[in-house]
Amino acid sequence: MEYQLELSFQRPEQPTLRGQPDDEAIRMIREFEPLALRNDPRGYCVYTSEGKDSRVLGHLMRRAGVRHFYIHNITGIDPPELVYFQRRIFQEYRDMGLTTYDIMYDKSMWQLMIEKKFPPLRQMRWCCAHLKEYRTAEYGSAILSLGVRKYESVRRAKSRDELEIAAHGRNNNGIIMRCENHESRRIFENCYTKSEKRLNPLAYWPDNYIWDYSHEAGLEQCCLYQEGFQRLGCIGCPLAKEAARRLEFERWPKLQAQWIRIFDKVIRLREQEGRVNEYASGQEWFEWWLGDRAQEIPIDTDQMMLEDY
């Protein structure tokens, strides 16, 4: 899961007047079910972290009565409270007769740090491909349905929409479209490339739609929202702002200690390879990494990055 960035951006255009947002989402989900079944007899693949958005998405799928299954990618750096919550909710889904899969990362964040010898940065996230977007046979050729919303970040406002045809499983160079446009639906239905197709029924939902729906539906949500966390996902994700990351590391200090240990280890490895180290200790490097300034440096002006990549 990714994080909410500054909200000082142009709000996405409000959907033109349609029905109630949940009715519209259910209509959209039902409309594409035949296509989902043609792609995969198990129906839609609901990609979920069991955070608030994916809880709402799953509920809409169940209300729509369409065939679907759930996939959750284990990152190894999610908050323990979310991990326990997701495990319990998946058991509830299985008790309801629904299919669930937990997909383990192919390499842990710590293995990747040893390999890359540099931490993931907002400008260069090498971890998502291994922890979040790691595709296994369980995904099959299903249409993916995600709880992504344009209101979550500037990047998502620009790059995500209700219908997506993602080139090579990533959103880069893909096609994004509104669902209400007939031509968009035609392109989505008739695209026979191997690209990943995604249906995002919550793309235009602001936060209050999510919480209103969740309350009205009586959906249980992870306890961390009651502590004031607005978005849940990888602890210390470089997409989040410094203040939010500091709060996370204060809340889960063992993970901070683990990051500092791995920075120390990478410094030693770099020394053994005769490479330049800007930082004398893991603590120093960690402090730099937490700062927003570090995250905003364009890749091609960072000397260490140039050296490494």
Binding of residue 245 to ligand SF4 (CB under 6 A): no
* Token reading at 3: 């994080």
234 binds ligand SF4 (CB under 6 A): yes
Q: Which token pair is 241?
A: 């702002």
Write down the H helix ranges in the chain.
21-31, 33-39, 52-64, 80-95, 109-116, 128-131, 154-159, 182-190, 207-217, 242-251, 253-272, 282-290, 292-296, 303-308
Largest CA distance in the chain: 63
> Which member of 132, 149, 156, 245 binds ligand SF4 (CB under 6 A)?
132
Nearer to ligand SF4, 132 or 197 (CB): 132
294 binding ligand SF4? (CB under 6 A) = no
The phi-psi region of residue 117 (left if phi > 0; otherwise alpha if psi is between -120 and 50; otherwise beta) is left
| Stretch of 127-135, 144-152, 159-167, 252-260 contacting ligand SF4, by CB under 6 A | 127-135
- Using CB under 6 A as the binding rule, the residues of this chain from 6 to 65 that contact ligand SF4 are none
Among 25, 148, 203, 239, binds ligand SF4 (CB under 6 A): 239
In sequence order, what are the residues at sequence separation of 6 or more whose Cβ sits closer than 8 angstroms to the Cβ of residue 236? 77, 245, 248, 249, 255, 256, 259, 290
Question: Does 120 participate in binding ligand SF4 (rule CB under 6 A)?
Answer: yes
Q: Which helix (H) or strand (E) holds 152?
A: none
According to the binding rule CB under 6 A, does residue 131 interact with ligand SF4?
yes
Q: Which stretch binds ligand SF4 (CB under 6 A): 59-67, 193-201, 233-241, 243-251?
A: 233-241
- Please, are residues 160 and 171 in contact by the beta-carbon 8 Å criterion? yes
State in angstroms the smallest separation of the CB of 231 from ligand SF4.
10
Q: Provide the terminal-to-terminal Cα distance of the chain, rounded to the nearest Å.
A: 26
Tokens of 216: 């009205």
Select 68 or 245, whichever has its Cβ closest to ligand SF4: 245
State the minimum distance, in angstroms, from the CB of residue 156 to ligand SF4.
13
Q: Give the number of residues in contact with ligand SF4, rule: CB under 6 A.
A: 13
For residue 40, which of 171, 159, 196 has the smallest C-alpha distance? 196
Residues 66-105: x where in contact with ligand SF4 by CB under 6 A, - otherwise, as a string? ---------x------------------------------
Q: Which stretch binds ligand SF4 (CB under 6 A): 121-129, 139-147, 216-224, 268-276?
A: 121-129
Residues that bind ligand SF4 (CB under 6 A): 1-2, 75, 120, 125, 127-128, 131-132, 233-234, 237, 239
